Amino acid sequence: MENLAHIPFGKERIRMFEILQYGFMQNAFIAAVLVSLACGVVGTYVVIKKIVFISGGISHAAFGGIGLGYLIGLNPIITAIPFSILTALSIGFLSKKVELSEDTAIGILWSVGMALGIIFVNLSPGYAPDLMSYLFGSILTVPLFDLIIMLVLDIIILLTVFVFRREFTAISFDDEFSKVVGIPSDVMYMLLLCLVALSVVVLIKAVGVILIIALLTIPAAISKNFTYNIHRLMVYSTLTGIILTSIGLWLSYLFNLASGATIVLVLGFAFILVSLIKKI
């Protein structure tokens, strides 16, 4: 699917909206919306609280869960969920409860997770199909089952953020003040990291483990130029993600490029453009 660049339609190339008649493109655009919901909401907290590096650590460690899925014969997306959550909780525990710097904890779990994934894949019988799509993304090949998983995870993320929106906002802006007013900041921080882990699983098929950090940060970073209100920032980030991810998806289809990398390049170009316009 990744190499389906131009499909003839009569004597003309298929125009932009006509490609939606194909099931794989419909799934891809639905995935783009689901991905943007996760990165718009959770990415806002990631950017505000400056935990981008933690998000990168969780996303790379999630490869261990993907490898485990190949080893035991389950959908890698399913096994990546508990593995990512366990990684997130481990980073939070090591940085909060153990005398270990946060970046050291991230570096250890980042490398261990990737190493476990490689070992699991090597131990799994036969050939590991679609392994590269989990590393670099393949939004054009997202099946219906994965869309359902992404939808369920999005619902969990949105409901959790709605219930604990005040607590998340407090710990994102001022962790010390949140402790003073009685908010269990350590617990909320762990919960926030779990939401990051769920977002990572949502994003894996779209841009892959290697490029997830871009979708979690760039839409929110762009939207920060237009509002300081955290709820508006979430909405703007989600809309920005939907628009730019759809553009990247269309360009990857049009020019026969890797979808995940194209989406990230579109996001990066948009960020540079907005930053230049703001300075001017």
**What integer pLDDT is reported at residue 279 of this predicted model?**
83
* DSSP-based three-state secondary structure for 32: helix
Terminal C-alpha separation, the chain: 41
Tokens of 97: 């409860």
What's the rounded mean pLDDT across residues 177-181? 81
Angle between helices 102-123 and 63-72 (to 10 degrees): 20
Tell me the pLDDT band of 3, cut-offs 50, 70 and 90. Answer: very low
Residue 201 reports pLDDT greater than 80: yes
Tokens of 47: 């950017």
Q: What is the mean pLDDT of the chain?
A: 86
**What integer pLDDT is reported at residue 244 of this predicted model?**
94
Q: Report pTM.
A: 0.87
Which phi and psi (to 5°) does residue 183 adopt? Answer: -80, 130
**What integer pLDDT is reported at residue 81 of this predicted model?**
94
pLDDT tens, residue by residue, 68-94? 999 998 999 999 999 999 999 998 888
Dist. CA 34–CA 148, nearest whole Å:
10
What's the rounded mean pLDDT across residues 246-252? 89
Identify the weakest region by mean pLDDT among 20-29, 142-151, 243-252.
20-29
What's the rounded mean pLDDT across residues 158-180? 89
Identify the weakest region by mean pLDDT among 120-124, 150-154, 173-177, 201-205.
173-177
What's the rounded mean pLDDT across residues 120-149? 86
Dist. CA 19–CA 7, nearest whole Å:
9
**Largest Cα–Cα separation, the chain:** 69
Residue 19 reports pLDDT greater than 80: no
What's the rounded mean pLDDT across residues 167-176? 87
Residue 280 reports pLDDT greater than 50: yes
Instruction: Report all structural domains of the chain as residue ranges with CATH numbers, in order of start.
Output: 22-279 (1.10.3470.10)
pLDDT tens, residue by residue, 44-54? 999 999 888 88
Dist. CA 83–CA 55, nearest whole Å:
14
Dist. CA 258–CA 266, nearest whole Å:
12
